[in-house]
Structure 1
Amino acid sequence: MNPVAGRVAVFGSLNMDLVVRLARFPSPGETVAGQGFATVPGGKGANQAAACARLGVATALVGRVGDDPHGEALLSALRGSGVDVSGVARTPGVPTGTAHIQVTAGGENTIVVVPGANHALDDTDLERLERALEGAAVLMLQLELPLPQVLAAARRAAARGVPVLLDPAPAQPLPDELWALCTLVTPNEHEAEVLTGLSVATAAEVRAAADAMRARGAREVIVKRGARGADWTDGETWLHVPAHRVEAVDTVAAGDAFGGGVAAALASGLTRAQALAWGAATAAVAVTRPGAQTSLPTRAEMLRMLEAGAGASPGGHN
């Protein structure tokens, strides 16, 4: 492995996760007993920034929190992970974003996000992003911020020649311009179906969906397939990385961990196959532990998982 030397900029959400553990999800109108409660730092932008920083890559996050205890706790946790949070603004009179999460004993989850300060962005946030983009090797974007700001951020990165990595979650229709600005789009199976209207149950269907996303303008696509691994293509080459065999405890931050691993590897000048392997190993460690940012591995933990598991291979088989 090459030494980590790149830098990642992240423009994204910060949420305090309010996590309830329960045996099973309630049916509509039903009350069930919870088995535990915790507040855990989260938000897709913050999670991905923390994932990159813990893997040893210099990482700067731009976003917003409220002027409240949740906001201070989120900033403190990110600093502890090594993230540069000088680009995160405190917004008086607006609560910090929250995510209300239910996690079953089997590790499945449901999430309701209340955006709060994440939706209080203005042009000053984009000005802070400009500073974060100086010398950046990649910009990570997600869709928990308002779409106009996400598009504006992608424009700024493209103008500087900084590759844009978009995690299209939560899934929603995207304008053609945003597709065209993306170097790499990383949906999971559900998001790929929403974005393309196509099933992704088989390897052939994954290829068709990836081709459809590339036809919209994305240069490269990774489809994250959970226990079935992940597939990457640039339209000519296909790579598949199998998932590591681990006992899942909590899948809340699996996608963010995967994206952080990919971005950290790419910012470090590694190959696409190595980036897939970093993503799979980072996610594999994360799902074995509870919480969002609390589950993210260090570089040493990721490398141990990487050495124990399988790497990327040609093809895209289930």
Structure 2
Amino acid sequence: MDATIFAPSPTLTVTIEDHESGPDIHVHAGGQGVWQARMLRRLGVDVTMCCVLTGETGLVVRNLLTDEGFRVIAVERAGRGAAYVHDRRDGARAAIAETQGDRLGRHELDELYGATLREGIDSRLVLLSGPDGDGVLPHDTYRRLAADLRGNGARVVVDLAGERMTAALEGGVDLLKVSDEELRADGLLPEDADEDDTGPIIAAMEQLRERGAGDVIVTRGGEPFLVLDGDRVLEVTQPQLQAAETRGAGDSLTGGVCAGLAAGERLRDAIVTGAAAGALNVTRHGLGTGDAETIRRLRDGVRVRVLRGEDVDGDRPAAEDDSRGRVSPDGLASLAQPGEETEEVRGHREEGA
């Protein structure tokens, strides 16, 4: 199982942390697409990352991405790449220096667009992510990519907000993930909406469907997130774990959902994988990290309640798999363990799902 990620401008991240023997300096590739890809890879999905790598930082990012096991399809250019240096020695994150990098030129964008279209058609599952800066590429790129990919048989997932989300919806997407804060910032939720009242969020989700989304996931900080899945509205409660770092939890959730979809799960089950992945990530300092076995076990602690539609029998263990011909949670975990393919997974793969 594989997936393609559109990550236009990965970020070189340098984080300084305290250590008993002196400063501890960590260097990683980062940014939304990288964090999502990292979780997909942890769950056994082969990831192709389409990106632009710029200047000296781009050379470092390429090596870091390759070392993590990603297949990197990159357009290389001179200039300033996206990067940041953060200091966490006192426990809080303080930005020392940050840059979103240079805007993509017409030629780089054309090459990146073509590579994403080619790889996405092959993988059939494409996750469109955004760069850190607003001025890196035209928002309309997301409209064109979404429309062209879906028009050629690929399934498109987006985790975007603002003008990028608006553009992607105009092209049409199969699954949109967004937060309630982002909806509020876009004027789709009232500023004074009661956090316990799901009505305004459900109304916003239905509006997003009218604008071009197939299914919709809306996260709500520490509250259960909501899913518009066909005609049903689901409320998903994640396991409550002690947080070490809340950044990246939403991207881990998105990556987990996409891993489930890549494994052939229906959305009802894929959101459980995503919920477990997002819950685990808050316990870790590394964004988009976690291991498949722990995520599999955390699935048992996820609860899905149907707020509207069929299957209104209240809370039930979400890890229950009542679909035939799909990969179960155990099957998904086995995909992350080379050489331990189960009969179930082998049969699923031979069927070409």
When normalised by structure 2's length, the TM-score is 0.73
Inter-partner Cα distance in structure 1 for 2:64 and 2:143: 28
Any residues of structure 2 matched to 1:245-256 within 5 Å, and which?
245-256=240-251
Residue correspondence of structure 1 range 286-301 to structure 2 within 5 A: 286-293=281-288, 296-301=289-294
Pair 1:43 & 2:31 matched = yes
* Larger of the two Rg values belongs to structure: 2
Identity of aligned residues (%): 23
Residue 182 (str. 1) matches residue 173 (str. 2): yes
2:5 aligned counterpart, secondary structure: strand
Is 2:186 aligned against 1:191? no
Q: Is the 8 A contact 1:16 1:39 kept in 2?
A: yes
Is residue 16 from structure 1 mapped to residue 12 from structure 2 by the alignment? yes
Query: For residues 261 and 96 of structure 2, what CA distance do their matches in structure 1 show?
Result: 29
Q: Is the 8 A contact 1:98 1:114 kept in 2?
A: yes
Q: How many residues were matched structurally?
A: 293
Give the corresponding residue for 1:243: 238
- 2:49 is aligned, of 61, 74, 89, to 61
Name the aligned partner's letter for residue 82 of structure 2: G
**Distance in structure 2 (CA, Å) of the matches to 1:106 and 1:244:** 25
* Alignment partner, residue 89 of structure 1: 75
Deviations 1:171-220 (A, max 9, x none): 33654663451111100121122234313623222212211211222111
* CA shift in 2, pair 1:155/1:103, >3 Å: farther
Give me the whole-angstrom Cα distance separating, in 2, the residues matched to 1:52 and 1:174: 22
Would the alpha carbon gap of residues 286 and 105 (structure 1) be closer, same or farther in structure 2, given more than 3 Å must change? farther
- The C-alpha deviation readout for 1:85-140, integer Å capped at 9, x for no partner, is 1x122222x12212466779888999996321573442111121133113323111
Contact 1:137 1:162 in 2 (8 A): yes
Mapped to 2, the partners of 1:277 and 1:180 lie a distance apart of 27
Kept in 2, the 8 Å contact 1:97–1:118? The answer is: no
TM-score by length of 1: 0.81
Task: Tell me, yes or no, if structure 1 residue 78 matches structure 2 residue 78.
Answer: no
Give, as a single letter, the amino acid of the residue that structure 1 aligns with 2:268.
Answer: A
Question: What does 1:12-161 correspond to in 2, within 5 Å?
Answer: 12=7, 13-19=9-15, 38-68=26-56, 70-85=57-72, 87-92=73-78, 94-99=79-84, 114-116=99-101, 119-120=104-105, 121-144=108-131, 146=137, 147-161=139-153
Q: Structure 1 residue 302 and structure 2 residue 295: aligned?
A: yes
CA contact (8 A) 1:107 1:249 kept: no
C-alpha separation between the residues in 2 aligned to 1:282 and 1:72? 30
Give the Cα separation in 2 of the matches to 1:78 and 1:36.
21
Return the alpha-carbon distance in structure 2 between the equivalents of residues 213 and 219 of structure 1.
9
* Partner in structure 2 of residue 32 of structure 1: none
RCO comparison, higher one (Cα < 8 Å, 6+):
1
Secondary structure at the counterpart of residue 160 of structure 2: coil
- Report the residue type matching 1:163 in the other structure: R
Structure 1: runs of 5+ lacking an equivalent = 1-5, 23-34
> 1:111 & 1:312 partners in 2: Cα distance?
42
User: 5+ residue gaps in structure 2?
Assistant: 309-313, 315-353
Pick from 257, 261, 268 the counterpart of residue 266 of structure 1.
Answer: 261
Structural RMSD (CA): 3.0
**Alignment match, 2:322:** none
1:21–1:102 Cα contact (<8 Å) kept: yes
Measure, in 2, the Cα distance between the counterparts of 1:74 and 1:253. Answer: 19
| Shift in Å, 1:20 | 6.3
